[in-house]
Amino acid sequence: MNNKDHGRIMIIGAGGVATVAAHKCAQVPEVFGEILIASRTLGKCDAIRDDIRRRYGREIGTAEVDADNVPELVSLIRSFKPDVVLNLALPYQDLHIMDACLETGVHYIDTANYEPLDEAHFEYSWQWAYQDRFREKGIMALLGSGFDPGVTNVFAAYAQKHLFDEIHYLDILDCNAGTHGHVFATNFNPEINIREVTQTVRHWRQGAWIETPAIIEDGSVHFTFDYPVAGNKESYLLYHEELESLARNLKGLKKARFWMTFSENYLTHLKVLRNVGMTRIDEVDYEGHRVVPIKFLKALLPEPASLGTKYTGKTVIGNIMTGMKDGRTITRYVYNVCDHEEAFRETGTQAIAYTTGVPAMIGAMMVLTGVWQGAGVFNMEDLDPDPFMEALMKYGLPWQVVEHTPLPQEP
């Protein structure tokens, strides 16, 4: 089959999420006719290519690129001529890749918002500032097309369109009920993961951001929730970027919170690492060399993409929403259950990577096929949720909607 007339996608990154996205794109040749996967480490790209060739008999391209180098990115984009660039590199590199897409006039998609390298802080302001430039160029930047952010945004948009007249309370709950056999490991890039979970927590309430202590601090907010399939898990209040856009875009919203499960073992290790300085993001002098402790820690921890070999259990991620419908108060829970072992059999990765990589592919599909169109910078809830929700069912992340009791609203 000659796929040269079909769409071209360039995937930047070669970790677990990029592995899933490349596999899922390879499974849909009628949409993704040509695939190029590029990263700083060519060997990782080649390994993904070889696995795809073995599984599906498809050929994809690989390339070496420094995602911090805009001219290098521009050169590769002009050489391959993709219809869309899917950024699955590090959040520090978002703006460089957006700049390259602007210069070449190619649609841009990512799964996580920009974060400065020298500050553990992330928000959409830097990327929203590209709105006029992308609109004037006539191209789309789709932000946060992972699971959370991503699917959670689409769940909210779907609920706003079909289930509610107004959503007053939104709680996003992310549970990993899996075990990987390691004493301590992170499910995605250790540097990004640890920077995220050691930050001061924020949630949105009545038009303002309310701060509470980080999950490893005294006074952190948590409660026990009975997850479908997974059962009772301790869930900690955490700041997550989709709250920022959803607080702006959901009509009538009074409060929005994000919760994630953590084991006592994980929290204990994280506290010790923080207390001895291993989570620091600034440089320290060690025997005449400048070393960033968290980068050194990353080198010692298991590679997240390797965790799938022993991972068992499931992830359960979804939204509990309370609001008004036809004059009465209702609560609905929209969620997905994903199995680590099934994800590994299909793509060689664990469910954390799978639940992010599948929506990344679907977002690219929506843009590449013209189902989602526009010029400018878009969050997921800005667009029609229905085709995305249909694609989740088709490509490996089925969801359910059930009635639920409202969650307690303190804090």
Q: Is the pLDDT of residue 21 over 60?
A: yes
Q: Tell me the per-residue pLDDT of 271-304, one tens digit each, with 9 for 90 and over.
A: 888 888 888 888 999 888 898 888 888 888 888 7
Within the chain, all domains assigned CATH 3.30.360.10 are found at 151-351+395-403
- The pLDDT of residue 3: 40
Integer Cα distance of 306 and 313 in angstroms: 16
Integer Cα distance of 84 and 97 in angstroms: 12
How many C-beta atoms lie closer than 10 Å to residue 255's C-beta? 18
Domain 7-143 has CATH 3.40.50.720: yes
Mean pLDDT of 243-260: 96
Domain 151-351+395-403 has CATH 3.40.50.300: no
CA distances from 296 to 63, 196, 278, 304, 305 (A): 26, 17, 8, 15, 18
379 forms bridges with which residues in the sheet? Answer: 143
Nearest residue to 123 via CA among 246, 244, 247: 244
> What's this model's pTM, rounded to 2 decimal places?
0.93
Within the chain, all domains assigned CATH 3.40.50.720 are found at 7-143
Name the DSSP letter for residue 312. B
- The pLDDT of residue 235: 96
- The pLDDT of residue 122: 81
Cα 84 to its chain centre, rounded Å, is 18
208 forms bridges with which residues in the sheet? Answer: 205
Integer Cα distance of 164 and 331 in angstroms: 9
Please give the structure tokens belonging to residue 300. 């010692």
Q: Tell me the per-residue pLDDT of 149-183, one tens digit each, with 9 for 90 and over.
A: 999 999 999 999 999 999 999 999 999 998 887 77
With a pLDDT cut of 70, the percent of the chain lying above it is 97
Strands (E), 2-126: 7-12, 32-39, 61-64, 84-87, 107-110
- Give Cβ neighbours of residue 105 (< 8 Å, ≥ 6 apart): 137, 138, 139
Contact present, 101 and 9 (Cβ < 8 Å): no
- Give Cβ neighbours of residue 1 (< 8 Å, ≥ 6 apart): 29
Mean pLDDT of 98-115: 97
